Structure 1
Amino acid sequence: MRHHIDEGLWAGNLVDDYLTAHATTSPEHVAVIDRGRSWTYRNLDQNVNRLASALSARGVGHGDVVSWMLPNWVEAIVVHLASLRIGAVSNPIIPIYRSKETAFILRQAVSKVVVVPQKFRGFDYPAMIDEIWPDVRDLEIVVVVGARADNNHVRFDDLINEGRAQDIARGPRDANDIALLLYTSGTTSVPKGVLHSHNTLDYENRSVIDFFGLSTSDVVFMPSPVGHIIGVLYGIQLPFMLGSTVVLLDIWRPERALALIQQHACSFVVAATPFLYGILHEPTLSDYDISSLRVFACGGADVPPELIKAATSTLHCMVSRGYGSTEYPTATGSNESDALTKRAHTDGRALGNADLRLGPDGELQVRGPELFLGYLDAALNDDAFSADGWFRTGDLARIDADGFVEIVGRKKDIIIRGGENISAKEIEDHLFEHPKISDIAVVSSPDPVLVERVCAVVVPEPGESITLSEIVVWLTGRQIARQKLPERLILLDALPRNPSGKVQKFTLRALARENTQSGYQLTATSRSEQ
């Protein structure tokens, strides 16, 4: 890691210091807009100081883990930056997690503090924490946003009021300190704790700012969960590096997103496929003036080429695909200098100082200054890294002559039918263009003779129905090999996705295993063969 410092790639910046710098130079500039309210840089920095000093007074210090499971609210920003300010480790937990996942994370992280909402989407978070608290013995403080005072929990507002707005003791800190512990929501059932330092996070955002030509005048719109790497980087950190404004949306509604983009002249968005799809297919899209939108970078999940083309044409802005992960946030991307064909059909070129290579089996491997420092469970590192230190992404890829990367599937997303390897993504890209299909995933289904068969999991467009034979006819017309044609069909109302938008294929494979009869069609509601 020393060479990143020697080469000037790791600049030694502390993530939260950007906020203080801009609070000094532009104190009245709006930093955050959330639920119809706004906070200036001075307001935000003072609240971060108050929470930081209050946590410190309660015994939270260097290396302690502060967990929080909050929606896209300004309180999430305050908790994250306040934790870093006293040398603690910020540990976002996605709000959709429940007792099992939350208890696992709090135990493994040895969390000293957890911050939760009183209620969000009707769910009682303090009651959940109370239920699991006996199994999380290191947990000392439960802070609740929006709560009334009680004997078990600390009100967030009360805790803020315990602290000081200025002149707080920040303690010994270093840019190589662990700043972020973020569990991968992943496409498997077991989350893994990813460790990032100030240096890895800072470099990532600086490279993105340079790549997309961002400046103070850009307004960031953040609909992606701030408990996910996209939200942490571009909703909680990057805006304050720029000295610009971030507009938060806590519950995804495309019409609300369009209204916010119009109202606040938002220009930069990074979000997963469902967000771009939702905006593009919102019936009232033409009612909004979103001409301020300059960049929509789409990643975190498979992005069909036709979606990029359609969005570019309709939204009149630079729409591109990108590739990254919690472990290596932004490895590739495309910008306005790249042709639409590259932006639509590839996941971009190496971004910043990312190094890319293909392993012997076609697996994409990456390394560079934003690569995570390893997993909290160090036993996972041996399988994650090659002998010479490259991160094994688990994704299969092609790299063209111009250096553009195309992800063609997961190592575990190859269907082996009768000894033939079939890419699920190839079939998905074809089916995404079917006029009756709203969403699509292709998975393997076990077979006693061929080992695996191709199973299409389809969400029909509203008011439409589709049959297996229609799908086969459509794909046959695309002149793809016969062994790639789906032999089983599952119809669902919605695909199960993690918060980053990736389809949870392990859930779909389990569903496919429930019925291994060739040619069956399974509906989400009746689950009966037709």
Structure 2
Amino acid sequence: MNDTAHALGASRTLWELAERRAALTPDRPVLLQGDRSLSFGELRERAERVAAGLYGMGVRPGTVVAWQLPTRIETALLSFALVRLGAVQSPVIPFYRDHEVGFALRESRAEFFAVPGTWRGFDFAAMARRLGAKGVFEAYDGEGLPDGDPAVLPPPPAEGTSVRWIYWTSGTTSDPKGVLHTDRSLIAGGSCLAHALHLSPDDVGSIAFPYAHIGGPDYTVMLLLYGFPAVMFEQFALPDALEEYRRHGVTVAGGSTAFYSMFLAEQRRRPGGKLIPTLRLLAGGGAPKPPELYHSVVREMGVQLTHGYGMTEVPMITMGSPDDSAENLASTEGRPPEGMEIRIVDGEVRLRGEAVCQGYLDPAQTEEAFDENGFLVTGDLGRLTADGHLVLTGRLKDVIIRKGENISAKEIEDLLHRHPAVQDVAVIGLPDEERGERVCAVAEQAPGTAALTLAAVTAYLRAEGLSVHKLPEQLEVVDALPRNDTLRKVLKYKLRERYSGTVK
């Protein structure tokens, strides 16, 4: 991290960070979207006007404001206006509907709720009315944001250690958890990302995931630290998005493993030329990365790939760096930054540091999540290498116990990702009266390849040296694995629900 970025990273609050960056490079762009752009100076000035408008509506320091908005320049402006006021904001992923949104509004006790009106054919304002939400207002392109005179505003927050953010875990079989963050925890997470990637003011990034995800502030902190812009994508799909990547000369792209796979698949449709001429780096996290995917991206796309490890509770834990060895980039999640402590207890990853959340809205969940030494218990399995890189080996809930033997689903998945007929795969354990659990592989077939069969898959895994007791006993071939709408993580619980009743 350069000296300027290091100094900015010591900012007490996100508003202080935004002000300091605006003073340094007021005319440089920070956000690009279509034909529009927002400079660092405009971010500060327009956010203050929006803050004044919110103040006129009754929003005060500590007021809880929920917002469920697409990835737009206006969304960032509203979020920074709330930062300026010292309000508590609760971002909600735009793909959530009545059940999840109602839960978030009730649990956070939101006094205001910003929605986009109708977006992608869904009427968010009507949903807000159904839910009985308080203080509903629409924030959309153009004149939708509140506006006022900054002279009415109280001073900005002086410290960044109070809880001012409530993020929501993507609940699967149960209700989501409200995760409590501070400005300082978000700055620490973004600093980790920025430090590892070795970026410069000449870079152009991209935000192709929901800004309401914990990755939103993570990425924005990086822009503020280094003073470069990012292209925002309200809807991400390939090949449609390629024009914007090329038009703005994006140098850094990604989001998660699924994004790498999409870029790679598009590159394979266009052999012989570079998909995005200016692109030099794919980076992201949020889901396991098969080593073979790393090698394929580097070989076929001609760019570097650095992958990291983060979660809603800790937005950035470790990150690969472009100067890491190919072996480390392929098979590890990178190293933690200074200030992030990683402890492995009985194979489980535990964390302590400034980027770690303050806990959950539910005090009982907070008590359960931290051990007696103040370390967050992640539920992830892993080990640290001799040089401090973290290797994730799976999740406690993703260990298949077959006839009393523990089997790592990730180990089998990594091997199957090398199979030429496998486009993507998830390995799950299914209930079995005789074995306790049986190993089931659910795969997407790669286009133009011979049909996958269980016999062919097990023969391949045997040839790769996989122990016999780990071989799948069931194979399901699907058109598409079920995924969430944020970082496109595979939803294994849906696969277990779908196939638990099957007998092979």
Which AA in structure 2 matches 1:509?
Answer: R
- Are positions 1:387 and 2:372 aligned together? yes
Confirm or deny: 8 A CA contact 1:444 1:453 kept in the other structure: yes
Task: Kindly indicate whether residue 168 of structure 2 is the aligned counterpart of residue 169 of structure 1.
Answer: no
3-state secondary structure, aligned to 2:342: strand
- Are 2:89 and 1:102 equivalent residues in the alignment? no
Match of 2:398 among 397, 403, 413: 413
**Is the aligned partner of 1:142 residue 2:137?**
yes
Change (3 A) 1:25 1:388: closer
Is the alpha carbon distance of 1:176 and 1:91 closer, same or farther for their aligned partners in structure 2, counting shifts above 3 Å? same
Aligned with residue 241 of structure 1, among 206, 225, 228: 225
Closer, same or farther: CA 196–384 of 1 in aligned 2, 3 Å: same
Deviation at 1:188, TM superposition (A): 4.8
User: What is aligned with 2:184?
Assistant: 199
Q: 1:388-445 deviations in whole A, cap 9, x for unaligned?
A: 1111110011222222211111000000011111100011111112222211101111
- In the alignment, which residue of structure 2 is the partner of 1:262? 246
The code of the aligned residue for 1:141 comes to: V
Using the alignment, how far apart are the partners of 1:371 and 1:188 within structure 2?
Answer: 24
| AA partner of residue 272 (structure 1) | S
Shift, 1:9, TM fit: 12
Does residue 295 (structure 1) correspond to residue 284 (structure 2)? The answer is no
SS in 2 for 1:281: helix
SS at match of 2:356: coil
Contact 1:117 1:126 in 2 (8 A): yes
Q: Which amino acid counterpart does residue 18 of structure 1 have in structure 2? A: L
Kindly provide the CA deviation profile for residues 323-374 of structure 1, in whole angstroms up to 9, marking residues without a partner as x: 11111222112212211011001112222321111112x1011111211111
Go from structure 1 to structure 2 and tell me whether the alpha carbon gap of 1:130 and 1:167 turns closer, same or farther (over 3 Å shift).
Answer: closer
Q: Which residue is equivalent to 2:211? A: 226
2 CA distance for matches of 1:340 and 1:404? Answer: 13
Residue of structure 2 equivalent to 1:123: 122
Q: Which moved more, 1:328-337 or 1:404-413?
A: 328-337
Alignment-derived partner of residue 4 in structure 2: none
Partner of 1:91: 90
| Contact 1:69–1:116 (CA under 8 A) maintained in structure 2 | yes
Q: Select which of 199, 212, 218 maps to 2:197.
A: 212
Structure 2 CA distance for partners of 1:462 and 1:121, relative to 1, 3 Å: farther
Shift of 1:174: 1.9
Of 414, 421, 427, the residue aligned with 1:442 is 427
Task: Choose the corresponding residue for 2:322, options 333, 336, 346.
Answer: 336
2:254–2:260 Cα contact (<8 Å) kept: no
The residue matched to 1:511 in structure 2 has which SS?
A: helix
SS of residue paired to 2:239: helix
Is residue 347–residue 405 contact of structure 1 (8 Å, CA) maintained in 2? yes
- The alignment partner of 2:111 has SS state of strand
Greater shift after overlay, 439-448 or 166-175? 166-175
Give the aligned partner of residue 473 of structure 1: 459
Which digits, 9 at most, give the CA deviation of each residue in 1:442-473, with x for residues without a partner? 11111111111011111212355422222222
SS at match of 1:398: strand
1:514 maps to a residue whose letter is G
Deviations 1:64-109 (A, max 9, x none): 2211112211111012111111011121111111110000001101
> Are residue 281 (structure 1) and residue 248 (structure 2) matched?
no
Shift of 1:289: 6.1
The alpha carbon displacement at 1:167 in A equals 7.0
Partner amino acid, structure 1, of 2:101: T
1:258 touches 1:279 (CA, 8 Å); kept in 2? Answer: no
**Secondary structure, counterpart of 1:211 in structure 2:** helix
Question: How far apart are the structure 1 equivalents of 2:260 and 2:50?
Answer: 35
Aligned equivalents of 1:221, 1:479: Cα separation in 2: 40
Q: Specify the SS of the correspondent of 2:437.
A: strand
Comparing 260-269 with 286-295, greater Cα deviation is found at 286-295
In structure 2, do the counterparts of structure 1 residues 334 and 212 end up closer, same or farther at CA, with 3 Å as the change threshold? same
Give the direction of change, closer, same or farther, for the CA distance of 1:166–1:216 in structure 2 (3 Å limit): farther
User: In structure 2, what is the equivalent of residue 153 of structure 1?
Assistant: none
Aligned residues of 1:49 and 1:166 also touching (Cα < 8 A): no
Q: If the length of structure 2 is used for normalisation, what is the TM-score?
A: 0.92
Does 404-413 or 189-198 show the bigger shift?
189-198
- CA offsets 1:247-301 (integer angstroms, 9 cap, x no match): 1112122324433332222223351011111111102375556343333223100
Moved more, 464-473 or 385-394: 464-473
- Cα separation, 2, equivalents of 1:225 and 1:420: 40
- What RMSD, in angstroms, separates the aligned Cα atoms of the two structures? 2.2
Segments of structure 1 that go 5 or more residues without pairing to the other structure are 1-7, 147-155, 519-530
Cα deviation for residue 186 of structure 1 reads: 5.2
- Partner of 2:30, secondary structure, is strand
Q: Give the structure 2 partner of residue 528 of structure 1.
A: none
Judged with a 3 Å threshold, the aligned counterparts in structure 2 of structure 1 residues 378 and 12 are, in CA distance, closer, same or farther, namely: farther
- SS of 1:208's partner is helix
**Contact 1:318 / 1:336 at 8 angstroms: preserved in 2?**
yes
**Cα-to-partner distance string for 1:289-319 (whole Å, 9 max, x where unaligned):** 6343333223100101011111122333331
- Aligned amino acid, residue 503 of structure 1: V
Shift of residue 482, structure 1, vs aligned partner: 1.6
The answer to whether the 8 Å contact 2:8/2:20 transfers is no
Instruction: Flag the 1:13–1:215 CA change in 2: closer, same or farther, 3 A.
Output: farther
2:93 counterpart letter in structure 1: I
Q: After the TM superposition, which of the residue ranges 422-431 and 485-494 deviates more from structure 2? A: 485-494
2: CA distance, partners of 1:228 / 1:172 = 23
For residues 218 and 313 of structure 1, the distance between their equivalents in structure 2, rounded to whole angstroms, comes to 22
Does the residue aligned with 1:350 lie in a helix, a strand or coil? Answer: coil
C-alpha distance in structure 2 between counterparts of 1:322 and 1:25, whole Å: 30
Amino acid at match of 1:365: R
| Partner Cα separation in structure 2 for residue 216 and residue 186 of structure 1 | 37
Query: Partner of 2:12 in structure 1?
Result: 13
Whole-Å Cα distance in 1 between the matches of residues 110 and 370 of structure 2? 27
Distance (Å, rounded) in 2 between the aligned partners of 1:166 and 1:30: 26
TM-score normalised over the length of structure 1: 0.88
**What is the Cα deviation at residue 166 of structure 1?**
6.4
Distance in 2 between the 1:40 and 1:10 partners? 20
Aligned mates of 1:403, 1:31 — CA distance in 2 = 34
Counterpart amino acid of residue 323 in structure 1: Y
Partner Cα distance (1:9, 1:43) in 2: 19
Work out whether residues 360 and 366 of structure 2, in 8 Å CA contact, stay in contact via their aligned partners in 1: yes
Aligned residues: 494
Distance 1:84 1:406, change over 3 A: same
**Is the 1:330–1:351 contact (alpha carbons within 8 Å) kept by the matching residues of 2?**
no
- Aligned residue number for residue 349 of structure 1: 335
Determine the structure 2 residue equivalent to 1:3. none
Structure 1 243/165 Cα, relative in aligned 2: closer, same or farther at 3 Å?
A: farther
Say whether residues 1:313 and 2:308 are aligned partners. Answer: no
Report the Cα distance in structure 2 between the residues aligned to 1:497 and 1:339, rounded to whole angstroms.
31
Asked whether the 8 Å contact 1:346–1:404 carries over to 2, the reply is: yes
Query: Which residue matches 1:76?
Result: 75
Does residue 496 of the first structure (1) align with residue 482 of the second (2)? yes
The answer to whether the 8 Å contact 2:49/2:148 transfers is yes
Whole-angstrom distance in 1 between the partners of 2:273 and 2:113:
42
For residue 349 of structure 1, give the secondary structure of its aligned residue in structure 2.
coil
Tell me what 1:157 maps to.
143
Q: Amino acid of the residue matched to residue 399 of structure 1? A: L
Deviation at 1:170, TM superposition (A): 3.6
